[in-house]
Structure 1
Amino acid sequence: MLATLTLLLGLPLALAAEPPTCAPLVTVTFDNATIPGILGQWIYIAGASRYAPHLAELKAVKHAAFSFSPGSHDDELNVTEIMRLNETCVVKNTSKIHIFWHNSTLMHVDGQVASTAELIQSDKELLIMKHPNTNSPGLSLSARTPNVSKEHLEEFKAHLHCLGLTDEDVFFTSEKDSCGLPGEKTGEGDAEPQTG
């Protein structure tokens, strides 16, 4: 009897300690306004994954800015990236984003490497992308400015937890590691950006 009473009294505490249930991440269904809405400059803020091939890249990216511009076809975007990988600034303007209208996904192609992403519904000043992978999905956060609000960061973290990722899986970039524009010096000791 005492064991049953203890179990019943402890049950509400155990239930209260359970994490909140997660609603499925709502992805954006592409329409005529979707792609024009993501054109322009973005600052990469953070990324998370447990997928081993992506971890090295997440750890190496200290800062990144990128811009999307219309490609030569309706199903393509041009991408220009300026990033600091460890101590080296790199400028890439040769990669493409392929738009798959039928399933609302994007595919980034950089040389022989391709990765897919789905846009998560959010504030128009944020670009939250889910990177599907059968073993471990990833999530990235970019914004129109280098600073995001606490609420936007909490939204990103809530999505992370719903994918089974933790704060320890997140790698943040830093504005102090910005490379600036090609040819521009942002501080003492900055390396000249390398074009890729």
Structure 2
Amino acid sequence: MLASLTLLLGLPLALATELSCDTRLVTVTFDNATIPGLLGHWVYIGGASTYPPHQEELKAVKHATFSLFPSSHEDELNVTEIMKVNETCVVKTTGKIQVFHHNSTLAHVDDQGTSTAQLIQSDKDLLIMKHIKDDFRSLSLSARTPNVSKEHLEEFEAQLHCLGFTAEEMFFTSEQESCPLPGEKTGEGDMEQQLA
């Protein structure tokens, strides 16, 4: 579920050029531009978590993309996700993101439960999210394209190190593991795709 939530959120803000361990993650306070800034296509890049179920999920996700669309409800977004989990491609079209303006949080709701996160100030084409689960630490990165600059990736990894994560506890996806779009033919015939 962490990967799903991670995949779902983005926000245009300025990313500091250098991060140090005493630089706090600055959360975003929602305003009128926040929700429109979330809409569109995103690619999940990677993340880390101290919450054991999220660690297992991060290990299993090889590639993931998601798109956010307006809902008929003002404080809700519809989500479509395409993920490669181990060797299986999964398409989910039933997810929802609930927007809570009073505390500037987002909650991803699906058949597995609810995950909550805060947006972290970042570049307009990046998404950094701090996931909220008791006292567990979790941070994730998504982007508008799979091509994240080396500098942005290094800054994200440095922030993970500052939070106490080792390289072995960080999980990143690969564009080479991407799933075909629904209806797209690969010619390989051996890729299983499930609609959830």
- TM-score, scaled relative to structure 2: 0.85
> What is the CA-CA distance between 1:161 and the residue it aligns to?
2.4
Match of 2:76 in 1: 76
1:89-100 correspondence to structure 2 within 5 Å: 89-100=89-100
> What is the CA-CA distance between 1:21 and the residue it aligns to?
3.8
> What is the CA-CA distance between 1:133 and the residue it aligns to?
2.4
Which structure: greater helix fraction?
1
Q: Which amino acid aligns with 1:26?
A: V
Q: After superposition, what is the alpha-carbon deviation per residue over 1:34-73, rounded to whole angstroms, capped at 9, x for unaligned?
A: 1101110000010211210111111110100001111121
Match of 2:15 in 1: none
Q: Distance in 2 between matches of 1:26 and 1:144?
A: 21
Q: Does 1:175 align with 2:182?
A: no
> What is the CA-CA distance between 1:159 and the residue it aligns to?
2.2
1:102-181 correspondence to structure 2 within 5 Å: 102-181=102-181
SS at match of 1:193: strand
Q: Which amino acid aligns with 1:166?
A: T
Q: Distance in 1 between matches of 2:180 and 2:112?
A: 27
Q: Distance in 2 between matches of 1:186 and 1:135?
A: 43
Q: Distance in 1 between matches of 2:112 and 2:189?
A: 32
> What is the CA-CA distance between 1:136 and the residue it aligns to?
1.8
> What is the CA-CA distance between 1:192 and the residue it aligns to?
4.5
Q: Which amino acid aligns with 2:159?
A: H
SS at match of 2:136: coil
Aligned residues: 177
Q: Is the 8 A contact 1:125 1:144 kept in 2?
A: yes
Match of 1:86 in 2: 86
Q: Which has the higher contact order (CA 8 A, sep 6+)?
A: 2
Q: Which moved more, 1:183-192 or 1:133-142?
A: 183-192
Q: Which amino acid aligns with 1:120?
A: I
Q: Distance in 1 between matches of 2:187 and 2:34?
A: 37
Q: After superposition, what is the alpha-carbon deviation per residue over 1:138-188, rounded to whole angstroms, capped at 9, x for unaligned?
A: 011100111100111122123212322222211111111110211213463
* Unmatched segments (≥5 aa) in structure 2: 1-19
SS at match of 1:168: helix
Q: Is the 8 A contact 2:21 2:159 kept in 1?
A: no
